Structure 1
Amino acid sequence: MAQHVLVPYDDSQRSTDALDFAIEAHPDSTITAVHVIDPSDFYAATGMEGGAMANYDAIIDHQNERAENLLREASDRAADAGVDIRTDHVIGSVSRSIIDYVEEHDVDHVVIGSHGRTGARRILLGSVAETVARRSPVPVTIVR
Structure 2
Amino acid sequence: MYDVILIPTDGSEAAMDAAKHAFSLAERYEATVHVLSVVEQSESASIVGRGDEKLETLREEGTDSTKHIVEEALSRDVDAVGAVEVGNPDRTILDYADEHDVDIIVMSTHGRSGVGRFLMGSVTEGVLRDGKTPVLAVQR
Structure 1: which 5+ runs fail to align? Answer: none
CA deviation string 1:19-74 (max 9, x = no partner): 11101122211110000001333445xxx2xxx2x222212221221111111111
The TM-score with structure 1 as length reference comes to 0.84
> Structure 2 counterpart of 1:88, which letter?
A
- Alignment length, in residue pairs? 137
Moved over 6 A (4+): none
Q: Runs of 5+ in structure 2 lacking a partner?
A: none
Match of 1:137 among 110, 132, 138: 132
* Superposed CA RMSD: 2.0
Normalised to the residue count of structure 2, the TM-score between the two structures is: 0.86
- Aligned pairs for 1:1-144 (under 5 A) are 1-27=1-27, 28-44=30-46, 48=47, 52=48, 54-120=49-115, 123=118, 127-144=122-139
User: Percent identical across equivalent pairs?
Assistant: 31
From the CA coordinates, give the structure whose radius of gyration is larger: 1
Alpha carbons of structure 1 residues 121 and 23: separation in structure 2 relative to 1, 3 Å: closer
